[in-house]
Amino acid sequence: MLVQIAVFWGMGRMNNECMAMLAEQWRQICQNYSADDLLHAFHFVQEHSVILVEEFYKNMLLEKESAQFLTDQMVQQRLRNTLIQWLSESFSVPINKSYVQAVQKQAMVGHVHARVGIPSWLIMRGVREIERKVFELLQASSQNSMLTACSYIVQIMGFATEIMCRSYEAKTAMNQEIKHSYRVFSAMQDVAVQKDKQRSSLLDWENELMFKVFSSPDNLKHPMLSKSEFGLWFIHKASYAFTGSDQVDLIIERIYQIDAINQTIMDCTDKNNVLGLIQQIRDLNREIQLLVDQLFQVAEYIESGNDSLTQLLNRRYLNTVISREITFSRKNHTPLSLLAMDADFFKTINDKFGHAAGDLALKFIAEALQKYSQGSDYAFRVGGEEFLLLLVDTDKQRALSIAESIRKYVENGMIKTAQGQQFKITISIGCTLYDGHPDYQRFLDAADAALYMAKNTGRNRVYMAQSPSNPVGQQ
């Protein structure tokens, strides 16, 4: 389901012809060495794989640039064994004659590196550490075949890395194209609706503040503008859509200026000072409104990123959006949640009432997602009767509350066909909280696994994935 969507949507430009060419090149490299040489190298790598991997991660963890991708816990729990396996498999290729599979493996590794955002130079840095340790170990062995073994090992390490980088560059180029396309799309997606909606949201925040100040000045509590409907929408959507516009940085600056003044009001006991501070907020809000209007003046509607039936986002921008929000979450230590949803027994509805009725059911589910999400959240129809809802700045409590509200809304609704038939539908929902890992595929996998559990424990329910040990944004 979601796993296949994320992995195969935009695999890059390494087609079957390219794979076959690289497999033949790998075979030719191996043909330059005797069977004994190949076997000796394989046994050497197997024997010393643990030492090589320990050396690799010891040095990589010292690199400042690798800190955002590697942690001691991640290395010990997952990556250490993965690298040991990679070394063993890379040098068993001529023994097993598995050249095509080996190329596919390297391409997938490169794809994952691009997905996570690991720079290619950092990969080369790690390979250099392994090669250095190989030379050190071979020199200590004092074997006559040392030079031949070095030659072969260096060639295979370099060639495997070359394949990774090919896949990496292809995927990165495609990502850049999609990101550019997404900026244009998101800037223009629902301009007319969002302009009025967000203007109203900004005024509502301001009016609510004034009401609280004048009606109950003691023990004032009012959310920051950056955490309001308007603030979250602008920071997570509009700022990205209008990247490069002068107005964006100004608006964000004004939002945080207002947050600072708002906090001062919460702590202030002098009513006269409060009135002056409120006027400052009003002035800054008028400036924000003017700047937002200027941004919307350049926007037009583009539908290519919408699902034509539900008008939710389609899967075209799924990876781009999730990757960006994960980066934001990691950088700012804010929580991020994901809901994976699937209509229960959807085929039965199509079979009994027809596909037009099925379309009505999908529209109804989309309506539920839009009703209970905020302007900063992202709702997707990713295929068939499957939906995703990415909830920004959202902890476990809010995520579960939204999921249950959506579930109840769908369960209690009545869908009417053009022929006057009536029927109900239910949905299963898997919920997960982002755990801080840079690979968005793990995030999607966790939501998909939770959805699977919801469906296999009775359907029409919300299942929360097992809480990660250290979720982002949680203490």
Computed on alpha carbons and rounded to an integer, the radius of gyration of the chain in Å comes to: 27
The domain spans of the chain are 2-185, 190-296, 315-464
Q: How many angstroms separate the CA atoms of 194 and 288, rounded?
A: 15
- Going by their DSSP bridges, the two strands 336-343 and 427-433 should be labelled as antiparallel
Tell me phi and psi for residue 244, to 5 degrees: 100, -15
* DSSP code string of 96-116: HT-HHHHHHHHHHHHHHHHHH
Torsional sign, CA 23, 29, 34, 40: negative
pLDDT at residue 202 in the model: 92
pLDDT at residue 301 in the model: 35
Q: How many angstroms separate the CA atoms of 76 and 185, rounded?
A: 41
Indicate which residues carry an active-site annotation.
385
Q: How many angstroms separate the CA atoms of 297 and 192, rounded?
A: 10
Q: What are the pLDDT tens digits along the chain (475 aa)?
A: 443 333 333 334 456 778 888 899 989 989 988 898 889 889 888 999 999 888 888 887 887 777 677 777 776 677 888 888 988 899 899 999 999 998 888 888 887 877 777 777 777 777 878 888 888 887 777 665 666 777 777 777 776 776 666 666 556 555 555 555 555 555 445 555 677 888 889 999 999 998 888 887 677 788 999 999 999 988 887 787 776 667 888 899 999 999 999 999 888 877 778 888 999 999 999 999 988 887 776 554 334 567 878 888 888 778 888 988 998 998 899 999 999 999 999 999 988 988 889 999 999 999 999 999 988 899 999 988 999 999 999 999 999 999 999 999 999 999 998 888 999 999 999 999 999 888 888 999 999 999 999 999 999 999 999 765 556 655 3
Q: Give me the residue label for tokens 């509805």.
A: 349
Q: How many angstroms separate the CA atoms of 403 and 372, rounded?
A: 9
Angle at alpha carbon of residue 355, lines to 354 and 356, rounded to 5°: 95
pLDDT at residue 377 in the model: 92
Given the candidates 3.40.50.720, 2.170.150.70, 3.30.70.270, 3.40.50.460, the CATH classification of the domain at 315-464 is: 3.30.70.270
pLDDT at residue 1 in the model: 44
Q: Which among 149, 117, 128 has a CA at the least distance from the CA of 47? A: 149
Q: How many angstroms separate the CA atoms of 294 and 278, rounded?
A: 25
The amino acid sitting at 303 is E
What percentage of the chain has pLDDT greater than the value 70? 83
For residue 167, the number of C-alpha atoms closer than 13 Å in the C-beta half-sphere is 25
Report the C-alpha dihedral over residues 164, 165, 171, 176, rounded to 10 degrees. 160
Q: How many angstroms separate the CA atoms of 116 and 436, rounded?
A: 12
Q: How many angstroms separate the CA atoms of 310 and 234, rounded?
A: 23
Tell me phi and psi for residue 70, to 5 degrees: -125, 140
Q: Which among 110, 160, 153, 148 has a CA at the least distance from the CA of 132? A: 153
**pLDDT tens, 199-230?**
889 999 999 998 888 887 677 788 999 999 99
pLDDT at residue 171 in the model: 61
Q: Give me the residue label for tokens 């702590």.
A: 267
Q: Quick one: DSSP state of residue 316?
A: G
Contacts of the segment 308-311: beta carbons below 8 A, 24+ positions apart: 309/359, 309/362, 309/363, 309/381, 310/362, 310/363, 310/365, 310/366, 310/381, 311/366
State the distance between the two ends of the chain, measured CA to CA, in whole angstroms.
32
pLDDT at residue 397 in the model: 94
- Going by their DSSP bridges, the two strands 378-383 and 462-464 should be labelled as unpaired
Q: How many angstroms separate the CA atoms of 39 and 34, rounded?
A: 9
pLDDT at residue 196 in the model: 80
How far from chain centre, in Å, is Cα 336? 10
pLDDT at residue 321 in the model: 87
Q: How many angstroms separate the CA atoms of 95 and 89, rounded?
A: 10
pLDDT at residue 140 in the model: 76
Tell me phi and psi for residue 144, to 5 degrees: -65, -25
* Residue 122: Cβ-neighbour burial (10 angstroms; 0-12, 13-18, 19+): middle
Q: How many angstroms separate the CA atoms of 426 and 64, rounded?
A: 49
Q: How many angstroms separate the CA atoms of 176 and 451, rounded?
A: 31
Q: Which among 134, 145, 155, 148 has a CA at the least distance from the CA of 52? A: 134
Q: At what angle do helices 146-188 and 35-60 cross, to 10 degrees?
A: 50
Homologous superfamily (CATH) for 2-185: Globins (1.10.490.10)
Q: How many angstroms separate the CA atoms of 20 and 26, rounded?
A: 10
Check: CB of residue 340 under 8 Å from CB of residue 385: no
pLDDT at residue 452 in the model: 96
